[in-house]
Amino acid sequence: MIDTSFDMFIETIVPHNELIISRTDLNGIITYVNETFAEISGYTPEELIGKPHNIVRHPDMPKSVYADLWKSLRENESWNGYVKNLRKDKGYYWVNAHISGVYKDGELVEYKSIREPVEPAIKLEMQNLYDKMRMEEENSCRVVLYTTCDKAKELEE
């Protein structure tokens, strides 16, 4: 199946004066989101809470990035990295994510994620790096295809 919408090319810019905040349980299920997360992702808080955090996982992100993230968290380390997220409307937004454990009486009880804006030059650098990583690790490439409208309709089916 092919997606013929072009919403996937629309970037939402994270404002420099805002932070995106969420919390998940130990399995990555969202337990809290701030209004900024809801607004930037295009979901309502009710649509996000109770869902896996990967609801906003963009297909451009290499699987190895998330493997590294979970490895760090399982080793009780924090994780920091650049992430391209998928909006509900299929657009996207970039964040610099800081994820760490939340402890109560010395026991890990949940994860918190604070995300902030990314400068344009870093977005380009990371997109190129992630494209290369996906190609090398997953044999996965991002393409744009121009074809006749009749052929596109066939591919949609």
For residue range 87-126, list pLDDT tens digits in order. Answer: 999 999 999 999 999 999 999 999 999 999 999 999 999 9
> Within a domain: residue 157?
no
Burial of 124 (0-12, 13-18, 19+ CB in 10 A): exposed
How many Cα atoms sit within 13 Å of 45 on the Cβ side? 10
Is the pLDDT score of 85 beyond 80? yes
CATH code of the domain covering residue 86: 3.30.450.20
- Check pLDDT > 70 for residue 7: no
Decide which of 153 and 130 is more confident.
130
d(CA 54, CA 64): 14
Q: Give yes or no for a contact between 11 and 87, defined as CB atoms under 8 angstroms apart.
A: no
CA distances from 47 to 39, 42, 56, 105 (A): 12, 10, 12, 31
Q: Tell me which residue range forms the domain holding 98.
A: 7-118
Residue 84 within any structural domain of the chain = yes
**Within a domain: 113:** yes
Number of domains in the chain: 1
Which of 87, 82, 83, 81 minimizes the C-alpha distance to 56? 87
Q: Are 41 and 89 in contact (CB under 8 A)?
A: no
- For CA atoms 73, 75, 79, 81, give the dihedral sign: negative
The pLDDT value recorded for residue 63 is 97
